[in-house]
Amino acid sequence: MKNPSLNRKSPILIVEDEYLVAIDLAENAVRNGERVLGPVPSVDAALYALSSSDALAGAILDVRLGSTHSFKVALELTRRNIPFVFYTGQMEIEIPEIFQTVPHLLKPANWSDLKAALSQAIKTVNETPIFVDRPQTAVAKEIDMKSLIMCLRQRAYTLTHDTAGSDRLVEQALCKALNELDCFEETVSLEQSLLDMLETVHQLSVSGVYH
């Protein structure tokens, strides 16, 4: 029997730069009735996702993202009163004082433990919100190319459930995007345009247009 979801109407943001860990987290969340935003592999991608989302049920943050940390994302989540947990493979890591009360789980953890930690974070935010008003956020509207490709690759894997197939899907989507640059809307971000293109190509593949 599945556990009840945290909030079926709002997604959970997953910020994780290890491809297989990110996919495992997303699949476990969906399997247990949650909606997922991401996974995203970098600070820039996470901030962009936050700027594009009206509501989140919570977030799971890998502490170490490449050569940097996710504390900038944690600060923005805190400003928005969005509950989150840190999820890391490092036994010893220095967490800024402002985040000392944030639940901190070591990899690997099962979904029930992650959900319990998120539930505790939600309770804490509801009881003692740090910021009552949502701020006007100013974050970059574009993300670096590496993060963009990782986002596409992770989304492709959630569609195909096959590593080789997901890479082939990304390649096909990028080729299609190059051929249809004039069709891109200026009001839509590059990331969203490519994600939409990816899903279009996937649907065409299923129908037999792409082989």
Quick: pLDDT tens for 54-102: 778 888 988 888 878 888 888 888 878 888 888 887 777 777 777 777 8
pLDDT of residue 143: 46
Give the least confident one: 78-82, 99-103, 147-151, 177-181: 147-151
Cα 155 from Cα 97, distance rounded (Å): 34
pTM assigned to the model: 0.59
pLDDT at 147: 67
- pLDDT in the model for residue 7: 54
Would you state the pLDDT for residue 186?
A: 60
Q: Which domains does the chain have, with CATH numbers?
A: 12-127 (3.40.50.2300), 145-207 (no CATH)
Burial class (CB in 10 A: 0-12, 13-18, 19+), 96: exposed
Tokens read off for 204: 């065409």
